[in-house]
């Protein structure tokens, strides 16, 4: 069934005759896309929709259908711009006073507003349209139509093309020349309303929220994410937020889930984007609770699953930060609000692991973490020796033993303040293996002629190193610190070139732009191998991002004093 606007001819109201299209303008264009009738037939349907718009009770869906047809059939865009210019003009130039009070004429102005915020007209059509708008402003300087003309002229100077047509909420706002109110969820600060227009980018929203929350002088980097449940996608700085809201609207219409829970809907969130610096955080302001709540959310999702002793210590610190000192009158929250779900039992790590093919070991050598093989062997040696008491309590004793251990740790934190507990939580979480790491499914392309088929791998980006592992395995094949990364650049639409020493690795993924953006944030972080004054070798590209997961990548770096205090 064609995707064109459903406007049967017999249902179209009898209004003023629409100006016909000039026939030569449609002849040079290719046929319409899949699902559409021939271009001239679609043009007729489109202009019947304009007639139906005059008396429509709900003009929003009809306008959205017209915009969608123009998005799918670019050949019709300039024709519609010209047609709307004619419909908003009188027989001898700009509309007179009676036309300013005509509801039908107002609908055309509203659709022209939506068109101008969605598409860029061709050069000739743009000049004709700007002339029409200027004449309208001069003829009716104090009218509502002049306000529409000024709004449209300003939009034409900013519109650079949209990925999606406006949502119904945006069409409603544009029809009244108003900004669109969107909600961004900020850890520790709740839902923050932000006014946007059709041209507002994700970077602009993130900057506004960072300033509003007093994080402008923070050492941390923040970015806008789209999130649903455990899925998160970093938005590139140049992404139009209005397009994201349209995508949310389309997904909600397609899924139509009966339950309207917060985890079932996509939403916008402000997130830490890059390495965590838990030291030196001020006890005042929003930064400490912001990072605290985000870290807790990551740990609840098992990103990463911390060791059992650290897990109980983090749960105790969470209780201390929420309720201060232990009291038998304070009810213990549900364990799933404090601890992540229990991970499935691992396979025996002592089993033999097949040697990776040569392409997977391309970057193996002295530049890769030298102690990795030793740690893997030691971990395999200890694998069959038994599990910690905490893991046995979780597996054998169920939730009762874990709850008792958490309560015991909470009691030993008596006297610790709320801010101190949050700071200790962050310090301990930052020591957990792979905290805040992101994982991407990639294809490794061979750099040798006839090197074989691409190999499926997982690229992990941690705070200090990146790693390669096989799908389904958290144990990396190789790991390299960012200080040894010599270059990181885009080689194609979905191909990333990573140069480490004298070797080069080619990775293919639809998320290469997000990978580059995140690597750039880590490379900008000072390290012994790369001082802070060094320029970043990774290009900063505007990009769109995709879901990422956060398994463990780094080795633990010892226990904080707080964990020792909890285990005394």
| Helix 39-53 vs helix 59-72: crossing angle, to nearest 10 | 160
> What is residue 447's predicted lDDT score, i.e. its pLDDT?
67
Output the CA angle 554-560-564, nearest 5 degrees: 125
Residue with tokens 């659709």, as numbered in its chain: 111
The torsion defined by the Cα of 339, 344, 347 and 350, in degrees rounded to 10, comes to 10
What φ, ψ does residue 480 adopt, rounded to 5°?
-140, 140
How far apart are alpha carbons 182 and 266 in whole angstroms? 13
Among 566, 493, 496, CA closest to 537: 496
> What is residue 5's predicted lDDT score, i.e. its pLDDT?
45
Among 430, 432, 426, 425, CA closest to 566: 425
Rg (CA), the chain: 29
Q: Return the CATH superfamily for domain 9-164.
A: MyTH4 domain (1.25.40.530)
Cα-Cα end-to-end distance for the chain: 70
Among 222, 232, 312, 314, CA closest to 274: 222
How far apart are alpha carbons 450 and 491 in whole angstroms? 19
**CA distance readout (Å), 89 to 52, 138, 187, 533:** 19, 13, 51, 59
Strands 222-228 and 438-445: unpaired
C-beta neighbour count of 182 within 10 angstroms: 21
Please say whether the beta carbons of 385 and 352 come within 8 A.
no
**CA distance readout (Å), 440 to 16, 270, 424, 546:** 57, 21, 30, 9
> What is residue 494's predicted lDDT score, i.e. its pLDDT?
83
pTM over 0.75: no
Q: Assign domain 305-343+387-432 to its CATH architecture.
A: Up-down Bundle (1.20)
Output the CA angle 259-262-263, nearest 5 degrees: 85
CATH no., domain 434-556: 2.30.29.30
**CA distance readout (Å), 283 to 278, 289, 293, 295, 308:** 12, 9, 14, 16, 28
- CATH number assigned to the domain with residue range 180-272, chosen from the 4 options 3.40.50.300, 3.10.20.90, 3.40.462.20, 3.40.50.1000: 3.10.20.90
Please say whether the beta carbons of 163 and 118 come within 8 A.
no
CB-count exposure of residue 441 (10 Å: 0-12, 13-18, 19+): middle
Domain residue spans in the chain? Answer: 9-164, 180-272, 305-343+387-432, 434-556
9-164 and 434-556 have identical folds: no
Among 255, 80, 78, 242, CA closest to 171: 242
DSSP letters of 136-180? HHHHSTTSHHHHHHHHHHHHHTT----SSPPPHHHHHHHHTT-PE
Per-residue pLDDT of the chain (568 residues; tens, 9 = 90+): 444 444 333 333 333 344 443 433 444 444 555 678 888 888 888 888 888 888 888 999 999 999 999 999 999 999 999 999 998 886 556 665 545 567 778 999 999 999 999 999 999 999 999 999 999 999 989 899 999 999 999 999 999 889 999 999 999 999 999 999 999 999 988 999 999 999 999 999 999 999 999 999 998 889 999 998 878 888 888 999 999 999 999 998 887 655 555 567 899 999 998 778 888 899 988 999 999 999 998 888 766 567 888 889 999 999 999 999 998 888 877 888 888 876 555 555 444 444 444 333 333 333 334 344 344 434 433 443 333 333 333 333 345 778 888 889 999 999 999 999 999 999 998 887 667 677 788 888 776 666 667 888 888 887 778 888 887 676 778 888 888 887 778 887 788 888 887 788 888 888 787 788 777 777 776 554 454 433 333 333 334 333 333 332 233 333 333 434 334 4
CB-count exposure of residue 3 (10 Å: 0-12, 13-18, 19+): middle
């Amino acid at each position: 069934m064609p995707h064109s606007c459903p406007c049967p001819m017999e249902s179209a109201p009898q209004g003023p005759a629409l100006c016909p299209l000039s026939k030569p303008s449609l002849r040079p264009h290719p046929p319409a896309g899949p699902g559409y009738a021939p271009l001239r037939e679609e043009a007729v349907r489109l202009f019947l929709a304009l007639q139906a718009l005059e008396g429509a009770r709900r003009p929003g869906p009809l306008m959205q259908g017209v915009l969608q047809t123009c998005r799918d059939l670019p050949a019709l865009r300039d024709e519609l711009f010209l047609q709307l210019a004619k419909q908003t003009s009188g027989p001898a130039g700009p509309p007179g006073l009676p036309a300013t009070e005509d509801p039908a004429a107002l609908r055309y102005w509203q659709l022209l507003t939506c068109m101008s915020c969605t598409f860029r007209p061709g050069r000739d059509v743009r000049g004709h349209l700007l002339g029409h708008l200027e004449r309208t402003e001069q003829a009716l300087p104090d009218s509502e139509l002049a306000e529409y003309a000024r709004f449209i002229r300003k939009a034409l100077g900013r519109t650079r093309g949209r990925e999606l047509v406006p949502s119904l909420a945006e069409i409603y706002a544009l029809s009244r020349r108003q900004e669109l109110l969107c909600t961004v969820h900020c850890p520790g600060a709740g839902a923050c309303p932000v006014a946007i227009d059709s041209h507002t980018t994700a970077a602009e929203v993130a900057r506004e929220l960072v300033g509003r929350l007093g994080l402008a002088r923070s050492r941390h980097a923040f970015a806008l994410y789209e999130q649903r449940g455990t899925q998160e996608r970093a938005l590139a700085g140049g992404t139009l937020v209005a397009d994201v809201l349209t995508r949310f609207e389309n997904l909600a219409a397609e899924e139509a889930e009966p339950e309207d829970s917060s985890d079932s809907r996509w939403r916008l969130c402000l997130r830490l984007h890059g390495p965590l610096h838990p030291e030196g955080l001020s006890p005042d302001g929003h930064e400490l609770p912001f990072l605290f709540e985000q870290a807790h959310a990551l740990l609840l999702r098992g990103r990463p699953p911390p060791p059992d002793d650290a897990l109980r210590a983090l749960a105790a610190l969470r209780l201390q930060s929420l309720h201060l000192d232990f009291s038998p009158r304070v009810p213990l929250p549900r364990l799933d609000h404090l601890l992540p779900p229990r991970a499935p039992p691992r396979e025996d790590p002592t089993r033999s692991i097949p040697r990776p093919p040569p392409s997977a070991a391309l970057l193996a050598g002295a530049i890769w973490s030298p102690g990795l093989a030793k740690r893997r062997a030691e971990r395999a040696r200890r694998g069959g020796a038994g599990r910690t008491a905490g893991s046995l309590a979780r597996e054998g004793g169920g939730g009762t033993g874990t709850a008792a251990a958490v309560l015991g740790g909470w009691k030993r934190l008596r006297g610790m303040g709320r801010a101190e507990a949050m700071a200790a939580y962050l310090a301990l979480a930052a020591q957990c293996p792979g905290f805040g790491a992101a994982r991407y499914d990639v294809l490794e392309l061979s750099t040798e002629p006839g090197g074989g088929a691409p190999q499926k791998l997982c690229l992990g980006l941690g705070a200090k190193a990146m790693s390669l592992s096989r799908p389904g395995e958290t144990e990396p094949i190789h790991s390299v610190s960012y200080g040894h990364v010599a270059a990181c650049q885009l080689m194609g639409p979905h191909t990333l070139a990573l140069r480490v020493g004298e070797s080069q690795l080619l990775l293919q993924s639809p998320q290469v732009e997000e990978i580059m953006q995140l690597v750039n944030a880590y490379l900008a972080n000072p390290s012994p191998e790369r001082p802070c004054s060094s320029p970043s070798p990774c290009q900063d590209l505007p990009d769109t991002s995709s879901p990422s997961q956060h398994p463990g990548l780094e080795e633990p770096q010892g226990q904080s004093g707080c964990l020792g205090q909890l285990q005394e």
